Structure 1
Amino acid sequence: PARRPPPSARRLMAEAGVAAAAIPPSGPGGQIRKEDVVRALEARPPAPAPATAPAPVAPAPQALRAVPEGDRERVVPMTPLRKTVARRLVEAQHTAAILTTFNEVDMTRVLALREQHGERFLARHGVKLGFMSFFVKASVEALRAFPAVNGEIRGESVVYRDRYDIGVAVGGGKGLVVPVVRDADARSFAEIEEAIAGLAKKAKDNRITMEDLAGGTFTISNGGIYGSLLSTPILNPPQSGILGLHKIERRPVVEDGDRIVVRPMMYLALSYDHRLVDGREAVSFLVRVKECIEDPERMLLEV
Structure 2
Amino acid sequence: MKEIKIPELAESITEGTIAEWLVKKGDKIEKGDPVVELETDKVNVEVNSDYAGVITEIVSEEGDDVEVGDIIAKLDENGEASGDSASEEETSKEESKEDKKEDKKEDKKEDKEEEIIEDKDESPKKEEKKESNETSKGDVIASPAARKRARELNIDLSSVNPRDPLGRVRPEDVEAAAKGESEEKSSKPAKKEEKKESAKTEFDKPVERVKMSRRRQTIAKRLVEVQHEAAMLTTFNEVDLTNVMKLRSERKEKFIEKHGVKLGFMSFFTKAVVGALKEFPLLNAEIQGKELVLKKFYDIGIAVSTDDGLVVPVVRDADRLDFAGVEREIGNLGKKARDNNLALDDLSGGSFTITNGGTFGSMLSTPILNAPQVGILGMHNIQKRAMVMPDDSIEVRPMMYLALSYDHRIVDGKEAVQFLVRVKQLLEDPYDLLLEG
| TM bracket (short chain) | 0.7 to 0.9
Query: Structure 2 vs 1, CA of residues 148 and 116 (structure 1 numbering), >3 Å: closer, same or farther?
Result: same
**Alpha-carbon deviation of 1:23?**
5.5
**Alpha-carbon deviation of 1:36?**
5.2
**Which residue of structure 1 aligns with residue 7 of structure 2?**
24
- Higher RCO (C-alpha 8 Å, min separation 6): 1
Counterpart AA for 1:196:
I
Among 123, 126, 136, the alignment partner of 2:270 is 136
Output the CA distance in 2 between the equivalents of 1:164 and 1:196.
15
Q: Percent identity?
A: 54
Output the CA distance in 2 between the equivalents of 1:128 and 1:257.
35
Output the CA distance in 2 between the equivalents of 1:97 and 1:158.
15
Output the CA distance in 2 between the equivalents of 1:150 and 1:159.
9
Query: Structure 2 vs 1, CA of residues 122 and 38 (structure 1 numbering), >3 Å: closer, same or farther?
Result: farther
Query: Structure 2 vs 1, CA of residues 244 and 55 (structure 1 numbering), >3 Å: closer, same or farther?
Result: farther
Question: Residues 1-303 of structure 1 correspond to what in structure 2 (within 5 A)?
Answer: 24-25=7-8, 33-35=11-13, 37=15, 42=40, 45-47=62-64, 56-57=197-198, 67=204, 72-302=206-436
Unmatched runs of 5 consecutive residues or more in structure 1: 1-21, 27-31, 49-53, 61-65
Output the CA distance in 1 between the equivalents of 2:338 and 2:311.
10
Output the CA distance in 2 between the equivalents of 1:76 and 1:209.
27
Which one is further off, 144-153 or 123-132? 123-132
Unmatched runs of 5 consecutive residues or more in structure 2: 18-37, 46-59, 66-194
Output the CA distance in 1 between the equivalents of 2:298 and 2:200.
58
**Alpha-carbon deviation of 1:120?**
1.7
**Do 1:152 and 1:239's aligned partners in 2 also have CA atoms closer than 8 Å?**
yes
**Do 2:241 and 2:428's aligned partners in 1 also have CA atoms closer than 8 Å?**
yes
**Alpha-carbon deviation of 1:300?**
3.5
Output the CA distance in 1 between the equivalents of 2:293 and 2:323.
28
Output the CA distance in 2 between the equivalents of 1:154 and 1:221.
24
**Do 1:23 and 1:36's aligned partners in 2 also have CA atoms closer than 8 Å?**
no
**Do 1:173 and 1:206's aligned partners in 2 also have CA atoms closer than 8 Å?**
no
Say which SS state the counterpart of residue 305 (structure 2) adopts: strand
Give the TM-score, by structure 1 length. Answer: 0.81
Say which SS state the counterpart of residue 411 (structure 2) adopts: coil
- Alignment length (residue pairs): 265
Query: Structure 2 vs 1, CA of residues 210 and 36 (structure 1 numbering), >3 Å: closer, same or farther?
Result: farther
Root-mean-square deviation over aligned CA pairs: 2.6
Counterpart AA for 2:368:
I
Say which SS state the counterpart of residue 187 (structure 1) adopts: coil
Show CA shifts across 1:267-291 (max 9, x none).
0000000000010110000011001
**Do 1:104 and 1:290's aligned partners in 2 also have CA atoms closer than 8 Å?**
yes
Say which SS state the counterpart of residue 34 (structure 1) adopts: coil
Say which SS state the counterpart of residue 319 (structure 2) adopts: helix
**Which residue of structure 2 aligns with residue 63 of structure 1?**
none
Output the CA distance in 1 between the equivalents of 2:16 and 2:419.
33
**Which residue of structure 2 aligns with residue 4 of structure 1?**
none
Query: Structure 2 vs 1, CA of residues 55 and 47 (structure 1 numbering), >3 Å: closer, same or farther?
Result: farther
Give the TM-score, by structure 2 length. Answer: 0.57
Show CA shifts across 1:143-189 (max 9, x none).
00000001001111100000100000112232221110000000010
- Name the one with the larger helix percent: 2
**Alpha-carbon deviation of 1:213?**
1.2
**Do 2:323 and 2:434's aligned partners in 1 also have CA atoms closer than 8 Å?**
no
Output the CA distance in 2 between the equivalents of 1:173 and 1:58.
33
Query: Structure 2 vs 1, CA of residues 250 and 145 (structure 1 numbering), >3 Å: closer, same or farther?
Result: same
Say which SS state the counterpart of residue 184 (structure 1) adopts: coil
Counterpart AA for 2:224:
V
Output the CA distance in 1 between the equivalents of 2:310 and 2:367.
13
Output the CA distance in 1 between the equivalents of 2:245 and 2:39.
44
Query: Structure 2 vs 1, CA of residues 55 and 192 (structure 1 numbering), >3 Å: closer, same or farther?
Result: farther
Counterpart AA for 1:33:
E
Show CA shifts across 1:20-40 (max 9, x none).
xx65336xxxxx721455697
Output the CA distance in 2 between the equivalents of 1:207 and 1:74.
30
Say which SS state the counterpart of residue 220 (structure 2) adopts: helix
